[in-house]
Structure 1
């Protein structure tokens, strides 16, 4: 598996396609397209917020990271259906932790739809704790955070 790299403008269409493939199974579960399916990946790339992982047939994974006053936001993690279950999601989450530390954040945070229960379980396993639930942009979201250890 290749290491994650910053996305470039030429990745925008492939990134959008990857996200659509990764999130399509959730549409029937939550009753509409999840937010990442309608995001502007050209803008995310231009802002330096997108990282991708290349595979033989195209992009296999991506993560969108956004600096916020509350810490580094993991806005989106997407893994191609054919690459799920091989640890790519964990690799991307480790990148987020390293990037948060590099940027001087003491906290990572994220949100997921409350019906995406497998995501909540996975994030709990990775050390994230639920901070609250709220409706945001018409979505019932579970907000989670992870405090980072102080650098040694």
Structure 2
């Protein structure tokens, strides 16, 4: 999963003025045991992944990443649809997520899929945009 994160998030480094997206430094071995992790493989290679965390009142979409070579193939959208199904399986009626303010492509995708911006906030030099989707 780490190689997918590097490929997916490295293009944003220049926009982020020296800040690093959290997924570049995540411990994916721990994520597999600490979150609900899903991967997509093609020809034995991981090309995308989804990390989910069930909270009391919503499902947190902790991370979704797709190799740039597989953008536009529907994998990302399928993983977001899977997240909705997993929220329902956990009997949760909302999904929450956040993204860096400079990741405008992600923001447009989330908004097209029915996510609504709830607020913006900063922490450690990062400005994040928070979204929620009511199912």
Shorter-chain TM-score: what band? over 0.9
State the partner residue of 1:5: none
| Residues 64-83 of structure 1: pairs in structure 2 closer than 5 A | 64-83=51-70
Instruction: Return the alpha-carbon distance in structure 1 between the equivalents of residues 35 and 9 of structure 2.
Output: 22
Deviates more, 1:48-57 or 1:139-148: 48-57
Consecutive unaligned residues in structure 2, runs of 5 or more = none
Aligned equivalent of 1:129, options 103, 116, 129: 116
Give the TM-score normalised by the residue count of structure 2. Answer: 0.94
Q: In the TM superposition, what is the alpha-carbon distance from 1:18 to its structure 2 partner? A: 1.0
Q: Which of 59, 79, 82 is 1:92 aligned to? A: 79
Determine whether 1:139 maps to 2:126. yes
TM value normalised by structure 1: 0.84
Deviates more, 1:83-92 or 1:45-54: 45-54
**Which piece of structure 1 moves more, 61-70 or 73-82?**
61-70
- Paired residue total: 134
Q: Distance in 2 between matches of 1:103 and 1:131?
A: 22
- For the aligned residues, what is the CA RMSD? 1.2
Structure 1 runs of 4+ with >6 Å offset: none
1:115 pairs with 2:102: yes
Whether 1:28 aligns to 2:14 is: yes
Kindly provide the CA deviation profile for residues 41-87 of structure 1, in whole angstroms up to 9, marking residues without a partner as x.
Answer: 11110124211000115111101101123410111110011101111
Structure 1's unaligned 5+ residue stretches are 1-14
